[in-house]
Amino acid sequence: MTYKEKAQDIYNQLGQGKLLDAFDQYYGDNVVMTEPTGTRKGKPECRKYEEKFLEHVKEFHGLEVHHIGANENDSTSFVESTMDVTFNAGNREKLRQVAVQQWSGDHITHERFYYDNENLNKPKIEI
């Protein structure tokens, strides 16, 4: 599989509600995940963050991938997407972001998320 195909598979799984399955399959043991709210290091810490995020989600309404691409020579992929969720607090949000993934073989070693969190009512996730 190309890196673009791997990224597409991740987002296909996310669209089916299989976030943790995709995480377990494609993220490396020493993965680093960075976003505007902070950085997490290592698969256990990153997975725990994803689990906590899911605990705050009451209902998943869908996922739309706007753009997806890869630089196969540099082992890098990117995805621009919008996730439509209702959180336990009752607020429904459309979370639009860009994820840039750096790969080593079949696993992501670094992922950076870009989004505007200024007006977002997403719950603060503590791990």
Confidence of residue 37 (pLDDT cuts 50, 70, 90): confident
Residues 38-47, mean pLDDT to the nearest whole number:
97
For residue 127, pLDDT over 80 is answered with: no
Q: What angle do CA 63, 52, 115 make, to 5 degrees?
A: 50
- Domain regions of the chain by residue span: 3-114
CATH 3.10.450.50 is right for the domain spanning 3-114: yes
pLDDT at 116: 77
pTM of the entire structure? Answer: 0.89
For residue 95, pLDDT over 70 is answered with: yes
